[in-house]
Amino acid sequence: MRLIQAVRYVTKASFTGWGFPPNNVCCTSHNICHLTRRGVTQVPNKPAVMTDGLFSGLTIKPKLIVFDLDLTLWPFDCDDFVGHKFQKKGTKVLDSNGEAVNVCPDSNYLLESIKNEDGVLLACASRTVFPESALQLIRVHGWDKLFDVMEIYPSSKVKHFNALAKKTGVPFNEMLFFDDLHWNIDEVGRLGVHAHLVENGINTGLVRYALQSYEQAHKSRNTGV
């Protein structure tokens, strides 16, 4: 599938004055999510051993799975690397200082598994103020060949998801989303997206749990339970 990409280049100064949601905003009950900081159900944040496949045994799957980037697929913010050039040496990605830049341990497995799953599209949505750094990292890791759609620019996640819906034709209630920020989970959940909070980076256990929860929610809706 042709990669659909939307990136806007802005300076840090142009972002000054944009308001951030208050810290006390948390996810509502619109969809399935897990807020460990707010005392709601905690999902163990450690990798799961997948003896079969990520989608094994599932009969209902989301049509689009979307990941945030910073502190979700990689354990840092892009603004930590402003001005850096990344290069790959062997299996390592290095910054301009020659230091390794690692993504979360399960990220490659998860993205490749989703990309190889029939009927499921893969996207990223990031509000980073430095999209050029994010794109560099995506390309050097080879993820540009995995994402079907990329929305990378400073805006609200609602705008990102409206763009994703328009470009893919997938309705919000058939999307699955992972992000590390409560207010992103909240505003995207209000659209009808099944949104899950990430803590300490994405991991296989959380994604598998989210897929099973998504399936159960759709089965319950179909049966009226």
Catalytic center residues: 68, 70
Contact 206, 21 (CB under 8 A): no
16's CB contacts (< 8 A; 6+ apart) are none
- Counting beta carbons within 10 angstroms of the beta carbon of residue 189, is it exposed (0 to 12), middle (13 to 18) or buried (19 or more)? buried
Please tell me the distance from the alpha carbon of residue 217 to that of residue 196, in angstroms, as a whole number.
Answer: 14
- Residues 60, 64, 68, 69, Cα dihedral to 10°: 110
* Chain centroid offset of residue 132 CA: 18
- Counting beta carbons within 10 angstroms of the beta carbon of residue 85, is it exposed (0 to 12), middle (13 to 18) or buried (19 or more)? exposed
* 131: its two tokens: 């999209």
State the CB neighbour count (10 A cutoff) for residue 103. Answer: 20
List strand residue ranges (DSSP E) for the chain, in order.
4-7, 64-67, 87-89, 92-94, 121-126, 149-152, 175-179, 194-197
- Tally: H helices and E strands in the chain: 6, 8
